[in-house]
Structure 1
């Protein structure tokens, strides 16, 4: 799965964004980084030319790194040309209608190891080109144009074409590459008037608006505790402790005495959705919805698979739980490491014990002697961008043997297998306590449908020493094991101290019919976390009003209003309108649900989920004649979409167009073998047309992937008996 596929989670108004090249300012107490430099020159100079400073810039000869000297790049049958005219930068490439168009490059986006370029579309939109510049030195393979989706050609009709929503700067990128960004999206007009205070990630992006700080600095009460800025400095004191080879946080109070710094960094360095407009300075869980350790995003042991932007990995680490913050390892202004190489680690971990062949078992100064290479292995994204896993884990090749996950050892020793690596580590560290049971065993069992997975999930959910993100993932998965013990476990986690776990516990209540959820989810309507209260409103959407007291109805209404408000924070994202439609469906407000699905399509005409949801709504209304064109369009936009094939196959079953139905049901099963439902339906369909032997074979093949699935086991037994009876006749 490509990076952009996973992330599946237009020039008339461009002046609203570009303002004819003038910097946008929107007040709100922001004063600009130039004001900061007058007193904080050292920090300002460190920040200048950092990746934050260069996150975005206007396209000028000083900022554009790519070759625009009439360079050409060929991508399958497309030729993109880069050139200059009158001092400006232009690209001629295939646009949203499949024809070649000329686009002026207005902004650079990023700087190293690649640089992207932004061009204007109608509706105030800026789009990032899919052809990017490799800014690495030529000796490292750089100084070339390359395509971000090299695996296969992306047609202009495809949902992942650069002219579509996934490459839209306003929705997908802007908030983390500029300061005080306001998307200013008009839902009625489907257009942006996006503004910012500074084009890059400047001082106030992290420290907050500086106006009050300037007033404080100019005032007489300089001893005031409130300087007008967020307190980002960590107060942890790291000291050597007798009997330990690792420094400890010896400051008074809890191990993590402050989370403000990490929360500010997580605002951008996380895979998340913003659910509140009032985000700055508030705890991260209150205004963001964090991605859990879901299949396709993370490996079952929590290692990164698709990009998670650090935070989701870091909060799994022991360092996070001991109080380590971002600035302990990174200089926060230049973003450079605090020390070169292993020295950044030996700030706290004794060099004579850990930075030695006795520990790492590799020659000094070799690749294998690098702390980061063993404990923070790299994964490549966007073709050339190597990013380190920040879960800071010990290498576990034994988990590779058991679960098929990667490990740092075999990332270098590609000529050997995981069993060899596991044996080597066992020989080096025979008494290690860092082997054996891991939460990855539990999540892998749940993904495989193992019959013992429920008990394992319950244990993980109740294991308070495990990372909250792992426990939350386990709790949410309990909804697929609807038993009394699973329900009791989920209900118990509604009182967990971490709001991430409480959110998952609410979602686990999906195992219950809507009318039965109130007794468990009702108290969450008064949860201290606004995010949890809003989720409770969503979970209770189908609760009959007759069963509620006047006070509960009022609480529920406020919670659902908050949930809707959280969706409309990003009203420019089609998926949020799909979620709104789902809420209306639960409430029985069918016309509003359809309107929400239609709005999603108006925002993103290539949104396959919107097409599927609207087609399913037409199915419920017995209007398949309107749903069929939507499903056909979905397959034009995303030809390999298994869900679209499955839905169209079922539609043809209802229309008794059996040959067409079988074709699409087969495609769904083949394209998404991990979805048991698709294989199950296809197998049943084969049997229904007299192909029981083929149906049995499909079920048998699926059981190789899902050996414990009850539905597939039932099919195998049923078809086996049927075939034996036929032979007996």
Structure 2
């Protein structure tokens, strides 16, 4: 078997399943009892979903705002009133494939590539979204609704492709008939009311239901039948009831409570449950993504489509109890004020809406648009005077949907020079160098450079040794945003070692559930006794995400070794974990997590099937391939393991950990020449991983490449000068070649580092005899 205590081959933990943007409907529409609401005199009434129309008569102002909102038109049955696209035999060609949009018998159709790339005609049953683009949904067997990749640009009145740069292979996860574009799992819960996903992982089918085919009133207020019944009573006859018999409290909330009410749909997260809007903690419902590479820039700016929550959590606004409704009308979702007036509710105009603050021309000043040398308009006069231009630079998603960054950050072109992150200055002044922006900022605001947590996270991503202490400090500093602290803790865990373990153990008692969950997930799988001691209390955590993560981490410990009370709580939390993973088992990460769990439980056949299903769902999901390779290796199926690792190494040439694992496997199979190639690549890519250098040195000795072997062993020793394995290996290396003085030096250093080891004394005795 492959052996290396320091390799991070096994990829464990809950991998948050993230959302693209799609949508779709399903045909089982019914009202379901959802909550019992007290109506006074100890009578309980089961609240049911009644639909937004039931709210209109009493709440006409709010209803009218909602009826013209993006929430109202989040999705709808395809009809004359809802379809915005051109279905008058319009054609659209993408990489030589022409799709045609047409109508027949009052219904909407598209002729396009379907399953396996074969052309066909598909009926469109629902619209998805409203502005600035609209997508369309097609029903498929198994209760699925799939989202077309060709969308309608509402502004320019044209069809366009969501993935314009390359044709998607029909086997790709993102191809429109596959899971990456499946409405039921990817988008339904945020585009319908009272969504019950209804996924059966055994049959891979959906029985998805909802009460309203839009984000209706009850999506936020909860089932309204009890409130409607109460409101229909004569005013003098209405009993005094809590929250006016509404299922969900939406007024008199703290800022945090209101934000958590919006967060399930306005965050990138993995959902552990259907959203009932009544969870005590956001992590009872979902796992928000941290500021991870590929999703966010190192300084926390938005990169991929992460929505708002993770950005807003980083802001001073969030820290100072600013809430969604301070800027957005909760029923229309529009801004409550236009332009800078929105910000000037709190920030004094005499200071901030002045040229002495922003140093840009205003719209009132005469002037032409700022142009490049070629004459192209770079930006309009006055745009630099807008608060959001500097403090909310956004990005376009889905081709044309512009989303401002809600972290409300200061422009930092100096960070661009150091880390390569974008900045608001360069975004407009595209004809200038970043150094010009840095100089301008220094001239206006002074030379003082504020430290930024992004510099620490960037160093952590790159595994720079000097970042360890800074990450530890950041992770426990409660003056920083919780999501930043949790991210720092996660990056610190990647270093391993006692320092990381100490900080992770301390974080288990943090008051923030996101930090505790990160600590549980990233705690190394070391001594079982230590793990049991640290994680047993976490099984009782009040927040679901924490306790189920603890159950998964303890699954490898035999149940008979758990105290009776702990065992009962473990089984309860493990059942919760299974429900969460099975609910989302239409995603590769959840199948992968189930595979990991069943490996821990010793159910290897079940583990294999879940890993294989993860790969079938998304052939690019490499963690499942890696862990399946490890499973096969443990079973002696090294050819299958080698095939999987080669696939990952070929697809991801910069994944040096995988090359390391493949090199070790090839060495085990006695394919030494190839093993050296992969170990060499891994050693070059991870120069601070001393164990890789050490194993490379040993392997090079075997194939008689002594000079290179000595260099590799010296590199390992350079990283860990007192490591007894490396000192011993070099001493033996020199003894075998009769280089006695160098052997003596290594043996003496070994004796100093580990005086209790007899090997050093024995080597010194041999050296004295042989060397003189």
- TM-score scaled by length of structure 1: 0.82
Is structure 2 residue 511 aligned with structure 1 residue 507?
A: no
1:156 to 170, 174, 183: 170
SS of the aligned residue for 1:386 comes to strand
Choose which of 52, 55, 67 in structure 2 pairs with 1:33: 52
Name the counterpart of 1:287.
285
Q: Is this contact kept in 2: 1:33–1:204, CA < 8 A?
A: yes
Map of 1:54 onto structure 2: 73
Call closer, same or farther: CA 1:232–1:98 in 2, change over 3 Å: same
Deviation at 1:27, TM superposition (A): 5.3
Aligned to 1:3: none
Q: 233, 239, 252: which one pairs with 2:251? A: 233
Kept in 2: contact 1:275–1:566 (CA 8 A): yes
Q: What does the per-residue CA deviation read over 1:226-274, in whole Å, with 9 as the maximum and x for residues that have no partner?
A: 2122232356xxxxxxxxxxxxxxxxxxxxx342221111010001111
CA distance in 1, matches of 2:611, 2:204: 15
Asked if structure 1 preserves the Cα contact closer than 8 Å seen for 2:483 and 2:514, the reply is yes
Tell me how far apart the structure 1 counterparts of residues 114 and 687 of structure 2 sit (CA, whole Å): 34
Give a deviation string over 1:407-453, Cα, whole Å, max 9, x none.
Answer: 11111112223332222222222387xx4211111111111221111
Summarize the alignment of residues 4-403 of structure 1 with structure 2, pairs less than 5 Å apart.
Answer: 17-18=26-27, 25-26=31-32, 28=34, 29-136=48-155, 142-219=156-233, 220-221=237-238, 223-229=240-246, 230-233=248-251, 257-277=254-274, 279-282=276-279, 283-365=281-363, 366-403=382-419
Structure 2 residue 535 is the aligned partner of structure 1 residue 537: no
**Residue number among 399, 409, 416 corresponding to 2:432 in the alignment:** 416
Residues 694, 712 of structure 2: 8 Å contact kept: no
1:272–1:690 distance in 2 versus 1, CA, 3 Å = farther
Give, in angstroms, the shift of residue 406 of structure 1: 1.1
Give 1:487's match in structure 2, choosing from 501, 511, 518.
501
1:576 is displaced (CA, Å) by 1.1
Partners of 2:413 and 2:423 within 8 A in 1: yes
Cα 1:109–1:709 shift into 2, 3 Å: farther
Contact 1:121/1:127 (CA < 8 Å) preserved in 2?
yes
Q: Answer with 592-601 or 520-529: which moved more.
A: 592-601
Flag the 1:307–1:606 CA change in 2: closer, same or farther, 3 A.
closer
Q: Counterpart of 1:92 in 2: which secondary structure?
A: strand
After superposition, the C-alpha distances for 1:289-334 in whole angstroms (9 at most, x for unaligned) are: 1111111111111111111110001011111111111011001111
- Number of paired residues? 669
Cα separation, 2, equivalents of 1:568 and 1:675: 39
For 1:510, what is the secondary structure of its paired residue?
coil
Within 2, Cα distance between the matches of 1:70 and 1:667? 54
Pick which of 532-541 and 685-694 moved more. 685-694
Q: Which of these residues, 450, 471, 487, is aligned with residue 457 of structure 1?
A: 471
* Residue 551 (structure 1) aligns with: 565
| C-alpha displacement of 1:590 | 2.2
Distance 2:108 2:666 in 1: 51
Return the alpha-carbon distance in structure 1 between the equivalents of residues 653 and 497 of structure 2.
Answer: 36
CA distance in 2, matches of 1:218, 1:371: 47
Alignment CA distance shift 1:115-1:666 (3 Å) = farther
TM-score by length of 2: 0.78
Contact 2:99 2:112 in 1 (8 A): yes
CA RMSD of aligned residues (A): 3.9
Contact 2:74–2:192 (8 Å) recurs in 1? yes
> Do the aligned partners of residues 16 and 200 (structure 1) sit closer, same or farther apart at CA in structure 2, a change above 3 Å counting?
closer
Aligned with 1:580 (options 594, 605, 621): 594
**What SS does the aligned partner of 1:72 have?**
strand
Matched with 1:429 is: 445
- Which 10-residue stretch deviates more, 262-271 or 142-151? 142-151
Mean CA deviation greater in 581-590 or 37-46: 581-590
Structure 1, unmatched stretches of 5+, are 1-5, 10-14, 137-141, 236-256
- Contact 1:53–1:202, Cα closer than 8 Å, also in 2: yes
Cα distance between partner residues in 1 of 2:686 and 2:106: 53
The separation in 1 between residues aligned to 2:393 and 2:687, in whole angstroms, is: 27
- How far apart, CA to CA, are the structure 2 residues paired with 1:99 and 1:268? 34
Q: Is the 8 A contact 2:690 2:720 kept in 1?
A: no
Q: Could you tell me how far 1:356 is from its partner in structure 2?
A: 1.4
**Paired residues of 2:199 and 2:205 also in contact (CA < 8 A):** yes
Q: List per-residue Cα deviations over 1:575-630 (Å, max 9, x = no partner).
A: 21210211222233323322432454566678655444434322221124555676
Residues 612 and 644 of structure 1 are in contact (CA less than 8 Å); yes or no, is this contact kept in structure 2?
A: no
Q: Which residue of 1 aligns with 2:636?
A: 622
Unaligned runs of at least 5 residues, structure 2: 1-15, 35-47, 364-381, 740-772
Report the 3-state secondary structure (helix = DSSP H, G, I; strand = E; otherwise coil) of the residue aligned with 1:126: strand
1:120-142 Cα offsets, whole Å, 9 max, x none, are 22211111111212211xxxxx2
The whole-number CA distance in structure 2 between the counterparts of 1:681 and 1:192 is 51
Contact 2:505/2:519 (8 A) holds in 1? yes
CA contact (8 A) 1:517 1:543 kept: no
Determine if contact 1:180/1:196 at 8 Å carries over to the other structure: yes
Q: C-alpha separation between the residues in 1 aligned to 2:598 and 2:455?
A: 38
CA–CA separation in structure 1 for the residues paired with 2:51 and 2:266: 23
Determine if contact 1:234/1:325 at 8 Å carries over to the other structure: no
- The answer to which of 58-67 and 273-282 deviates more is 273-282
Are the counterparts in 1 of residues 25 and 188 from structure 2 also a CA contact under 8 Å? no
Contact 1:462 1:471 in 2 (8 A): yes
1:521-532 to 2 correspondences below 5 Å = 521-532=535-546
Q: Distance in 2 between matches of 1:678 and 1:121?
A: 51
Q: 1:644 to 1:599 in 2, by over 3 A?
A: farther
SS of residue matched to 1:115: strand
**Would you say the 8 A contact 2:595–2:610 is kept in 1?**
yes
